[in-house]
Amino acid sequence: MTLPRRPLLAIVTFGRMVKFSHTVFALPFALAAVALAAHGHGVTVAQIAAIVLAMVGARTAAMGFNRIVDRRIDAANPRTADRELPTGKVSLSAAVSLTVASAALFLAAAAWLGPLCLQLAPIVLVLVLGYSFTKRLTWLCHLFLGLAIGSAPAAAWVAVRGRLDAPALWLSGAVATWIAGFDVLYALHDRDFDQKAGIHSIPVRFGVPVALLISAVLHAASVAALLAAGQAAGLGWIYLLGMAVVVAMLVWEHAILRPSDLSRLDVAFFNLNGYVSVVYFVATLADVLLRK
């Protein structure tokens, strides 16, 4: 049975508004945390489903909220003027409804996962929603975004084990610096507009060459944290093989960008970072299953 055209169009439009396809960035890392936490402990299909729903709910709420508070900025920016809220493809009331419903989904999934998850859920919401205001205040906004999204692996670990352990902390640190690093690259798109509009970012504060260097340093820190996570979890050669592929993709991501030539910025941001998260998850899961 197929959905009527209008409801299907509405789903696609909402998905574009919140960039649902970008879920591929953080979700594989959260699932990798689930695989590591479940080793020697166990996890149910229902738990995995609840973790995925919590991830989707939190991310959709964050993106919806970001689109709402940024709607006037987006309308003034030529690159983002055709987004769903500035063009009226999605009404403000519909965006608010989606955001509230997504936050409720996140809280409901957290409640199902246990009292500790529910107690920590408001903190996570403050982080993922609060990012939307940081670029108005500080060029450190990229690190705040990394902290918000980097909480996903730690949250998934708590959902499985009911506590935090070293591998989860290393993995969350890795995701935080990885996200911050490629958010710096993403901000290169809007450097000129942001400078005129008073929006803060590392490219605005330090310029393109230094921004590229800072992004590379953040990604180097991410690799170090991922290696530490693997060591703390006792992972073996399959994990290291996956890490070699991850490192190669990150090196390539930075090699194709030059201060004088950012024409391949979308390839670096969208394609390669999506591959990084998927490769990492596959390598982690394969290593855990082999040890099992």
> What pLDDT was estimated at residue 241?
96
- Give the per-residue pLDDT at 1: 36
- Residue 257 is predicted with a pLDDT of 79
Check pLDDT > 80 for residue 14.
Answer: no
At residue 33 the predicted structure's pLDDT band, cuts being 50, 70 and 90, is very high
Phi-psi region of 198 (alpha: psi -120 to 50; beta: other; left: phi over 0): left
Give the confidence band of 89 by pLDDT, cuts at 50, 70, 90.
confident
Of the ranges 19-33, 79-93, 117-131, 165-179, which one carries the lowest mean pLDDT score? 19-33
Q: What percent of the chain has pLDDT over 90?
A: 66
> What separation in angstroms does the CA of 159 have from each of 113, 129, 240?
6, 21, 26
pLDDT band at 2 (very low <50, low <70, confident <90, very high): very low
pTM of structure: 0.90
CB 134 within 8 Å of CB 65: no
Instruction: Please give the C-alpha separations between residue 114 and each of 49, 104, 149, 153, 274, in angstroms, as whole numbers.
Output: 14, 16, 21, 16, 31
pLDDT in tens, 163-199: 889 999 999 999 999 999 989 998 998 899 999 999 9
pLDDT digits (tens, 9 = 90+) for 240-278: 999 999 999 999 888 887 877 777 777 666 667 778 999
In this prediction, residue 5 carries a pLDDT of 47
Is it true that domain 25-291 has CATH number 1.10.357.140?
A: yes
Residue 110 has pLDDT above 60, yes or no: yes
